[in-house]
Amino acid sequence: MTKTKRRAPLWFLPAPISGVLGFILFALNLTFWCIPFYLVGILKLLVPITSWRRRCVRWLEVLGESWIYFNGLLERLMHGMEWDVDGLDELRRRDWYLISVNHQNWVDVFVLQCVFNRRIPFLKFFLKKQLIWVPLFGFAWWALDLPFMERYSREKLKKHPELKGKDLETTRRACQHFSEVPTSLINFLEGTRFTPAKHTAQESPYRHLLKPKAGGLAFALAAMGETMHKLLDVTIVYPHRDVTFWQLLSGGIPKVTVRVREQEIPAEFFEGDYLNDEEFRGRFQTWVSDLWRAKDELIVELVA
């Protein structure tokens, strides 16, 4: 178990001042690492040689890990949030992981980055293909080799049956090189951030979670194949659920609890037609529901 006590910050400032100072320091850290990041990204763009581009991606990941390290260092120096983390001892830097985590707010991303930084491969996530055109961010995501996926809705497939299976093939091609390079992919099963209103509207059977969307996970496994054979089931709990990024910047989050459980993904789920095979879909949804039920019970324990 990794557990750090809350340490005294370097200075004691009122929350608004501390928050503004935190924002400035985090922004300066981002700006500092953005300059070499975009230079390497441009070099990757200009030289379309596979071996060269892979080397550029590794350099970009090192830059990203350094940015994350200094983000964590700034938080420790300014606020000294207590970290209660368990389940990292057996993780390996050169392995393949699919990460499933409950999603409450944007602080989750900061927590995941700090917890896993330099312990497992650089964290990546699936993106919709259209997002590659987002200014600045789209180029950065492309440079890091984040997989862009193209999904067709059931309605579109009914109108254009010739598109059946093409979205999966497109995503598989985007993920092909991950079989050669250790990779960590994040999947937020709930598909959106938790709010009491969403929880009520869904009539969720879980006390602290929204209903999981198993289709996205099934699609990821079908695209990655047996390469991504390990699941990291991650649970994040804060003293108060409604934390914000401003509270992180201003020192308003005294503690975060993280539990990581590693398990093998059943081999039967690497192949199968989730959309059209009702029996396969039922087995997969049962597996996901069991994971989510266990996570909900763990959150109840941690909150208590």
Sheet bearing 2-4, strands edge to edge: 2-4, 82-86, 255-264, 230-237, 97-101, 184-187, 123-125
Q: Is the pLDDT of residue 257 over 90?
A: yes
Residue 139, in any domain of the structure: yes
**Domain membership of residue 225 as a residue range:** 82-303
Please report which confidence band the pLDDT of residue 163 belongs to, taking 50, 70 and 90 as the band edges.
low
The number of folded domains in the chain is 1
Are 143 and 164 a contacting pair, CB within 8 Å?
Answer: no
Residue 60, in any domain of the structure: no
**pLDDT tens-place string over residues 180-193:** 889 999 988 888 88
Averaged pLDDT, 156-166: 69
- The pLDDT of residue 143 is 93
**pLDDT tens-place string over residues 45-56:** 999 998 999 999
CATH number of the domain that residue 123 is part of: 3.40.1130
- The pLDDT of residue 155 is 72
Q: How far is CA 57 from CA 37, 38, 300, in A?
A: 10, 12, 40
Between 208 and 3, name the one with better pLDDT.
208
Going by C-alpha positions, the residue among 121, 123, 65 that lies closest to residue 94 is 121
Mean confidence (pLDDT) of the chain: 87
Report pTM: 0.88
Residue 161, in any domain of the structure: yes
DSSP 228: S
Residue 209, in any domain of the structure: yes
Residue 142, in any domain of the structure: yes
Please report which confidence band the pLDDT of residue 175 belongs to, taking 50, 70 and 90 as the band edges.
confident
Are 255 and 6 a contacting pair, CB within 8 Å?
Answer: yes
Q: Is the pLDDT of residue 223 over 80?
A: no
Residue 213, in any domain of the structure: yes
- The pLDDT of residue 229 is 83
- The pLDDT of residue 49 is 93
Residue 207, in any domain of the structure: yes
Averaged pLDDT, 273-301: 91
Distance CA 228, CA 195 (A): 31
Residue 231, in any domain of the structure: yes
Please classify residue 190 by burial: count the beta carbons closer than 10 Å to its beta carbon, then call 0-12 exposed, 13-18 middle and 19+ buried: buried
Distance CA 201, CA 160 (A): 32
- The pLDDT of residue 191 is 83
